[in-house]
Amino acid sequence: MRSRILLVLAFVCLYGCASTGGPRHVATVSVVTSHGTLMLIDATEEKLVCDTAGAPQAPMCVPPATHKAISAKLAQAFDLDADVARTVKAMPVGTPTTPQVLELLSKISVLVSDVMALIPQSSARESLAVQIGGK
């Protein structure tokens, strides 16, 4: 999934550079896209925790211990999410995207893959994977 997300981000960057705004605007779109993915995973996983109203039955629900592990990874991912947004916001208009932006997005992508690997198989997880373009 990581490679696919990076591929999409690269595509967005390449397309954006050719058609709209400058690097800062293109980086903004990449950050917003990455953030949207995290928010979707966050909201979906919360609904899958065992004993939550509407959650699937075991073994398809997320056990409490796994939920805590996922929360730790998502906390890191959201910290990076805020960091990359601050980094892009600090970029002067017209300057090239810094390697730091791509590095932060790459780290988020790794954490997304880790989180997806922790979520048990279910129709909701499958739907989530389709929505974010992963497995």
**Is residue 5 at the binding interface for another protein, with CB under 8 A as the rule?**
yes
d(CA 7, CA 22): 20
| 79 versus 114: smaller Cβ distance to another protein | 79
**Is residue 32 at the binding interface for another protein, with CB under 8 A as the rule?**
yes
Residue of 54, 49, 51 whose CA lies nearest to 120: 49
Q: Choose the binding region for another protein from 30-38, 55-63, 95-103, 116-124 (rule: CB under 8 A).
A: 30-38
**Is residue 114 at the binding interface for another protein, with CB under 8 A as the rule?**
no
Distance of CA 29 to the CA centre of its chain: 13
Please select the residue that binds another protein; options are 48, 61, 62, 85, rule is CB under 8 A.
85
**Is residue 116 at the binding interface for another protein, with CB under 8 A as the rule?**
no
- Compute φ and ψ for 23, nearest 5 degrees: -60, -35
Please select the residue that binds another protein; options are 48, 61, 62, 88, rule is CB under 8 A.
88
The DSSP secondary structure of 6-28, one letter per residue, reads HHHHHHHHHHHHHHSS-HHHHHH
Amino acid letter at 20? T
**Is residue 130 at the binding interface for another protein, with CB under 8 A as the rule?**
yes
DSSP-assigned beta bridge partners for residue 49 = 62
d(CA 70, CA 77): 10
Residues near another protein (CB under 8 A):
5, 8, 11-12, 15-16, 19-21, 24-25, 28-29, 31-33, 35-40, 42, 65, 67-69, 71-72, 74-75, 78-79, 81-83, 85-86, 88-89, 130-133
